Amino acid sequence: MLNINKTKEADKMTVALEGRLDTTTAPELEASLKEDLDGVAQLVIDIEKLEYISSAGLRVLLAAQKTMNKQGSMVVAHPNEVISEIFEVTGFCDILTIE
């Protein structure tokens, strides 16, 4: 289960995620981002309520980062301790801007 809550203000979009970002839910986020990233210069992915992430989820974050590198900036906000550890082990803490 993954809830995706998008809010847009001018060229800034915040995407709040809640639940699990895994093999079954990652395609939902990928499609949802693809739909709305046009014209976005600031993307904030708020994962305060995200409980779980697997490599399928990391893959979507990496793709979003690559897109945003071309058109603006991206921040991944409020990861919990366990997810922070996963970002560290996988080197994603150096690729993503984590706040």
Partner 1 sequence: MKSIKLDATIENLTEVLLFIDKQLMSENVGIRTKMAIDVAVEELYVNIARYAYAPNVGEAEIIVDVQDNPKACEITFIDSGIPYDPLKKEDPDVNLPAEERQIGGLGIFMVKKSMDDMRYEYKDNKNILTIRKVL
- Give the nearest distance from C-beta 65 to partner 1 in angstroms: 5
- Sign of the dihedral through C-alpha 76, 80, 83, 87: positive
**Considering the rule CB under 8 A, would residue 54 count as an interface residue with partner 1?**
yes
9 beta partners: 12
- Give the nearest distance from C-beta 66 to partner 1 in angstroms: 6
CB 50 within 8 A of CB 79: yes
CB 80 within 8 A of CB 51: yes
Binding mask 14-43 for partner 1 (x = CB under 8 A): --------xxx-------------------
- Give the nearest distance from C-beta 95 to partner 1 in angstroms: 5
Which secondary structure element, helix H or strand E, spans residue 46, and what is its range? strand 42-53
Burial class (CB in 10 A: 0-12, 13-18, 19+), 32: middle
**Considering the rule CB under 8 A, would residue 58 count as an interface residue with partner 1?**
yes
**Considering the rule CB under 8 A, would residue 85 count as an interface residue with partner 1?**
yes
**Residues at the site binding partner 1, with contacts judged by CB under 8 A:** 22-24, 52-56, 58-59, 62, 65-66, 69, 81-82, 85-86, 89-91, 94-95
